[in-house]
Amino acid sequence: MADERLIIFDTTLRDGEQAPGFSMNTAEKVRLARQLQVLGVDVLEAGFPIASTDDAEAVRLIASEIKGPVIAGLARCNPADIECASESLKSAERSRIHTFIATSDLHLEEKLRISRERCLESVVENVTLARSFTDDVEFSAEDATRSDLDFLCRVVETAIKNGATTINLPDTVGYCTSDEIEQFFTDVIGRVPNSDKAVFSTHCHDDLGLAVANSLAAVRGGCLQVECTVNGVGERAGNASLEEIVMVTKVRHDRMCYSTGIDTTELFPTSQLLSELTGEAVQANKAIVGRNAFAHEAGIHQDGVIKDRRTYEIMRPQDVGAISHLVLGKHSGRHALKKRYQEIGVELSRFELDQAYRAMIELADRQKTIEDADLKSFIREIRDEQSAGAA
């Protein structure tokens, strides 16, 4: 039986770009959009057009230049937002209006200051309006996971009835646990009578460090679209990481037997481009794309990887566009040191290896890593001493 296909909805240019320190100008957004096209995302959320004239222009340019992905624009359940999004998207090969309104009592009462009934009326009015511009309408219930379930089911049913083809139920503040969100989607999909007429989507935030786990749990609960970002960037602690979601389906296909349209060899280059554009480096220990994800310093690990990389690597670095490397430092062993010398064209005797190893450990107490220039200096001094002793 063929795998079910997950729709990868990338919101790096919208939710990710809203995060402090991650803003990009229009040219930078278009450049990243081109790379997301190469990466193979299914839906590219290009921005929030009503937010500013620059955002509207960026969405317009991306819609006109990027072919392949569906180009989405975000809009509140507000006619001005929806009309602005429609105008920005009109040149897209395929467009999606993504409209949203909060559904939790906390948001309705304290933020929007409206009743549940007014919320429902707004869903009817604005989903219908969005559908008049495009046949691809996504509706999101902000703070869905903290909403009253009966009311949320009414909202979802109403959105689908009025033309929404994708229903996104975000864990807006990263509050859920994985078992909870799986049951949440199972319940909503089971209780909404017209749920079979829409694709369900998950959008998880990482406030408790559970965004990826929760997204995968939501898929088990019936979602076929996952909203995520490159490097997991986004509001507060960020969003579910695109690269982690995709590689789970690759590496643990036995447990998550879904396919995606992502070219995984473009994951690392895309991550690096985002860092270049924003000036925000990826944390060293970030899964899949961090600089230490395929690096080994501990001697036992280095020995294992030299003999068979599978001892300490569960995926090949080239599969994500990265490289594996042995880092020489105070935890390294002789096997890695010998291998690095061979790589730079130097064959060592057993005596030279022992001497170089001692020199490396001594220097590593003063500096974090040992570079090739240090190795060349070690062997030059060792051989000079041997020559002087022989004379």
- Give the pLDDT of residue 391: 63
Instruction: Say if 237 falls within a structural domain.
Output: yes
Same domain? For 300 and 385 the reply is yes
Q: Establish if 290 belongs to a structural domain.
A: no
SS3 at position 128: helix
Find the helix packing angle between 26-39 and 53-65, rounded to 10°.
Answer: 40
* Domain end position, chosen among 278, 309, 324: 278
Task: Determine, yes or no, domain membership for 14.
Answer: yes
Same domain, 266 and 367: no
Q: How far apart are CA 94 and CA 136, in angstroms?
A: 9
Give the span between the Cα atoms of 384 and 391, in whole angstroms: 11
In a domain, 287, yes or no: no
Among residues 114, 112, 165, the alpha carbon closest in space to that of 140 is found at 165
Domain residue limits at 129:
4-278
Name the residue with tokens 């490097």: 231
Domain end among 222, 246, 278: 278
Choose one of 278, 305, 336: the last residue of a domain.
278
- Cβ proximity of 287 and 230 under 8 Å: no
The CATH number that applies at residue 235 is 3.20.20.70
Q: Do residues 255 and 307 share a domain? A: no
| DSSP element (H, E) containing 112 | none
Q: Kindly give, in sequence order, each residue whose CB lies less than 8 Å from that of residue 52, ignoring residues fewer than 6 positions away.
A: none
State the Cα–Cα distance between residues 238 and 352, nearest whole angstrom.
49
In a domain, 283, yes or no: no
Does 284 fall in a domain? Answer: no
Domain presence at residue 236 = yes
Mode of pairing for the β-strands spanning 137-142 and 166-168: parallel
State what percent of residues in the chain have pLDDT above 90.
Answer: 88
Q: Same domain, yes or no, for 247 and 365?
A: no
Reduced DSSP (H G I as helix, E B as strand, rest coil) percent helix, strand, coil of the chain, to 5: 50, 15, 35
Kindly state whether residue 286 falls inside one of the protein's structural domains.
Answer: no
Quick: pLDDT tens for 159-192: 999 999 999 999 999 999 999 999 999 999 999 9
Stretch 284-306: mean pLDDT, rounded?
91
Q: Are residues 121 and 230 in the same domain?
A: yes
**Are 213 and 261 found together in one domain?**
yes
Instruction: Indicate whether 235 and 106 sit together in one domain.
Output: yes
Do the Cβ atoms of 101 and 127 come closer than 8 Å? no
Q: Quick one: 60 and 187 in the same domain? A: yes
Domain count along the chain: 2
**CA gap 108, 155 in Å, rounded:** 13
Q: In terms of domains, do 247 and 320 share one? A: no
In sequence order, the β-bridge partners of residue 44 are 10, 71
The predicted-structure confidence for 198-225, as pLDDT tens digits, reads as follows: 999 999 999 999 999 999 999 999 999 9
Q: How many CB atoms lie within 10 A of CB 232?
A: 28
pTM for the whole thing? 0.90
Tell me, yes or no, whether 251 and 340 share the same domain.
Answer: no
pLDDT tens digits, one per residue of 305-359? 889 989 989 999 999 999 888 889 999 999 999 999 999 999 999 999 999 999 9
Nearest Cα residue to 290 out of 331, 322, 319, 332:
322
Specify whether 220 is located in the same domain as 299. no
Q: Do 327 and 183 fall within a single domain? A: no
